[in-house]
Structure 1
């Protein structure tokens, strides 16, 4: 293998291996991962939260046993491919091995470390945006129509992965108009590429239309409950913090793409960043929505630094190794909050040094023992095991006449994941895509109702059961779900069952018919 190809490959291998080496197995999967894994048992062309590409990965994962390695395989794989593209982009822009190493380190040590640890659509989105940027570099060097078709296929897959790809596509099209690449808009190859993207995305579009376009309601709810609280100042502060170890690389990289003569042919990449983040700022997008715009800036910034050091032959002897070491040194104080290095008890002690910094602040505005993401990776197996134990205590002859109803998708997903090989009914919820999977009302009434909730059931529920009592509770003191309890209701009457199905129908109708 050529040395020029070896370094990007080594960076990719390092990225994949580090995901397992820097994670404590004291933590379980994240609440979102359980939801996405449940997609694999309900394959469709769409879901309330995201398009279907995540579900395909979930299905493959479950076919392979569904173990921890295969769950994490996907984000580690997408992260590895992304750092490979970053390194290759640095080479394409004229960088030597030093620039390739610097660009790769910026990706390895930035906000992508946490992103590529979780099985979510975000890792694949970053890969898709980076691949499109890489193909644009290739097109600038060799104007081949096949590259534009490839871009269309990647963008189509991006839309099948996450709807925020629409922001990137909008920034891309306007950026083309603002550069000499506007001539592409008159070529058959570009519009064929657009056709490929539309064709790839079409099944999900049809699914959305069939289900009343739940995406619109999802965006409205997201805006009303979360995005409305995202200020432009906070968004840009997070942009500086997310890739802090690489700040001194990506900022020069952005400027170089816009005004540095050797990189001016690739100005479109700098404009994509500017327009994409402007769009996210105006629409109050979440900070991490912007992560896919950064990898190509690492490559450009590394090449710019290399060119500047070439004019200082004596200084670059010590500056080159020093600049490679700098992102590592900048990451050291952030390590405990970036990787799940320490088990919860030890992490609680380490976290005291970060109290008041915002790293331990949860959605309730208060500091806790662990970062919220870490606490969201605890207590799930305990909850699932106790649900199975309660189910086993029911009389065998009526055990399968049990409805398991949870308060949120994390609880339902965890119960279904850890009990996936056990003879137990699936857990359900009125939360998210679980609305689409709720069981039909059986001809024979339910004999038992297992309710998993963080709050005590309302007093008006008790008269509708022969007995309704708490039978178990999550005890893990570090878990965000530590207050989740399991309530067993026996012989639910017709009125409460009718109420459950009315509430389900109303919640589902809200997603399938309401328009912002």
Structure 2
């Protein structure tokens, strides 16, 4: 076996190990991770936020104990497989060890370091887009139908993972139409692959139709609350920043795909990137939605650079220097790629980077910490206070307690940290928790534990007592100031209102008449 063939698995192993080693335990899980972990306790063919593939990973994670190691296992695994594909494609296209190393290092030092640390659908999306592009390239190179079916299988799984796959499919179609690869549209195997993709996605598609296509409502909410704050200028600035240490690699790959004669057969991959980014620009997509389009460009960029260096006299000096260059460029950004440092130190570091967009949250404003970091704080504090509140209730009435939260992060964190304690599930009207809200019991609730930002309105006159019993005080947490309120003896009017609000919220998602 050639030594260069060992490089893709070695870099994949490096990616896997570094994902665990370069992580400070000063941080907890991310807000979204708590929601996705709750999926595993409510297996279904669909959810209000994403399709069901994440739920299967959640179920396996919780079956294995739900520890921090297993929560992080999945995104780190998908990232490791992605980097393996990036290097392996270089070899398949005739590249050597240097190009494999450069492409792999480019992936290691880019924004995937942070992306592949969070248990979200995004890591699998990057893998699926990379694998789909890999399959397209290999089919163009070999003409073997199996790669088209591999493309269809990956797109089908990707549709079970995240609906932004629709944008990738649209970009792929545009790329084929703009290149001689349009002849694939007359290939029966391509349509067979499309049928395979549809078959894999079909259960979730049926779920969407049966529930009034809540995907559209989710996109509308996302647009109004978050995407409206994404400007075209910021989106494109982020495209440079996300993979900045290797910008010269992926740009070289894109330009080579479009104009370098030996790579002309693969030009559709270059147009795939352009079409994908234009679609996201028009739709005001979040910057990280584009991350799935870059890994394949690392492969082609490294391959082209390797070929060009053959003609350079100083190549013996340049080759190792160019491998080190992405790492050197990455070092100043290291604290933002990995959760290396605790929040207090990150606040000091962050002041040096204001204006670059690293500290900008979804509200369009710069804060003390990056949003992802602030979303990993304060959750156990909340969960423990809720448990203490529940324990202080009279033993005879604890079973008749409803825990209701403002958002899915709060509900998910309470459920996660109390998973081994006899605590009723925390609930919410936010996202998929709408489907998990408990059926109204025959014996009324005697206590409500409410997690809200402010004193609940319209409650005091419909219960025996209302008091604040806790609050998140972590100064770095995005949830700082979130309070815990105990309501005792809620009357029927208040309980009726809770269930009426639940029905109304669910109807909005499923487009039902109220």
Q: TM-score interval w.r.t. the shorter chain? A: over 0.9
Which residue does the alignment assign to 1:359? 358
Distance 1:495 1:53 in 2: 40
Which residue does the alignment assign to 1:254? 254
Once the two structures are TM-superposed, the CA of residue 174 in structure 1 deviates from its matched residue by 2.1
Encode CA deviations 1:271-297: one digit per residue, 9 max, x unaligned: 110111111111111111111000010
Distance change in 2, residues 1:410/1:296 (3 Å): same
Q: Secondary structure at the match of 1:432?
A: coil
Q: Check whether the contact 2:230–2:364 (CA below 8 A) recurs between aligned residues.
A: no
Distance 1:247 1:177 in 2: 27
Count of residue pairs the alignment pairs up: 513
Encode CA deviations 1:345-366: one digit per residue, 9 max, x unaligned: 2222333323454433444555
Distance 1:329 1:284 in 2: 32
Which residue does the alignment assign to 2:380? 381
Q: Check whether the contact 2:238–2:357 (CA below 8 A) recurs between aligned residues.
A: no
Q: 2:26 aligned with 1:22, yes or no?
A: no
Q: 2:44 aligned with 1:44, yes or no?
A: yes
Which residue does the alignment assign to 2:474? 476
Distance 2:334 2:72 in 1: 20
Q: Check whether the contact 2:226–2:362 (CA below 8 A) recurs between aligned residues.
A: no
Once the two structures are TM-superposed, the CA of residue 145 in structure 1 deviates from its matched residue by 1.3
Which residue does the alignment assign to 1:436? 435
Q: Check whether the contact 2:257–2:300 (CA below 8 A) recurs between aligned residues.
A: yes
Q: Secondary structure at the match of 2:50?
A: coil
Encode CA deviations 1:95-137: one digit per residue, 9 max, x unaligned: 1100000000100000111111100000000000100111112
Encode CA deviations 1:150-175: one digit per residue, 9 max, x unaligned: 11111000000000001111111222
Which residue does the alignment assign to 1:397? 396
Q: Check whether the contact 2:214–2:509 (CA below 8 A) recurs between aligned residues.
A: yes
Once the two structures are TM-superposed, the CA of residue 208 in structure 1 deviates from its matched residue by 0.4
Distance change in 2, residues 1:228/1:56 (3 Å): same
Once the two structures are TM-superposed, the CA of residue 446 in structure 1 deviates from its matched residue by 0.1
Q: How does 1:137-286 map to 2 (within 5 A)?
A: 137-286=137-286
Q: Check whether the contact 2:229–2:363 (CA below 8 A) recurs between aligned residues.
A: no
Q: Alignment RMSD, CA only? A: 1.4
Once the two structures are TM-superposed, the CA of residue 228 in structure 1 deviates from its matched residue by 2.5
Q: 2:509 aligned with 1:511, yes or no?
A: yes
Q: Secondary structure at the match of 2:432?
A: helix
Once the two structures are TM-superposed, the CA of residue 420 in structure 1 deviates from its matched residue by 1.1
Once the two structures are TM-superposed, the CA of residue 482 in structure 1 deviates from its matched residue by 1.8
Which residue does the alignment assign to 2:499? 501
Q: Secondary structure at the match of 1:404?
A: strand
Distance 2:51 2:451 in 1: 28
Which residue does the alignment assign to 1:60? 60
Distance 1:280 1:366 in 2: 21
Q: Secondary structure at the match of 1:118?
A: coil
State the TM-score, normalizing by the size of structure 1. 0.97
Q: How does 1:43-122 map to 2 (within 5 A)?
A: 43-122=43-122
Q: Which structure 2 segments of 5+ residues have no match?
A: none
Once the two structures are TM-superposed, the CA of residue 83 in structure 1 deviates from its matched residue by 0.4
Q: Check whether the contact 1:110–1:246 (CA below 8 A) recurs between aligned residues.
A: yes
Higher mean alpha-carbon deviation, 142-151 vs 68-77, is at 142-151
Distance 2:417 2:36 in 1: 14
Q: Secondary structure at the match of 2:340?
A: coil
Distance 2:319 2:408 in 1: 49
Distance change in 2, residues 1:234/1:370 (3 Å): closer
Distance 1:364 1:144 in 2: 48
Q: 1:489 aligns with which of 487, 490, 495?
A: 487
Q: Secondary structure at the match of 2:20?
A: helix
Distance change in 2, residues 1:366/1:150 (3 Å): closer
Once the two structures are TM-superposed, the CA of residue 64 in structure 1 deviates from its matched residue by 0.3
Once the two structures are TM-superposed, the CA of residue 311 in structure 1 deviates from its matched residue by 0.6
Once the two structures are TM-superposed, the CA of residue 227 in structure 1 deviates from its matched residue by 1.8
Q: Check whether the contact 1:217–1:514 (CA below 8 A) recurs between aligned residues.
A: no
Distance 1:259 1:359 in 2: 33
Distance change in 2, residues 1:171/1:407 (3 Å): same
Encode CA deviations 1:58-107: one digit per residue, 9 max, x unaligned: 00000000000000000000000000000011112221100000000100
Once the two structures are TM-superposed, the CA of residue 181 in structure 1 deviates from its matched residue by 2.0
Distance change in 2, residues 1:221/1:514 (3 Å): farther
Higher mean alpha-carbon deviation, 348-357 vs 476-485, is at 348-357
Higher mean alpha-carbon deviation, 292-301 vs 86-95, is at 86-95
Distance 1:214 1:165 in 2: 17
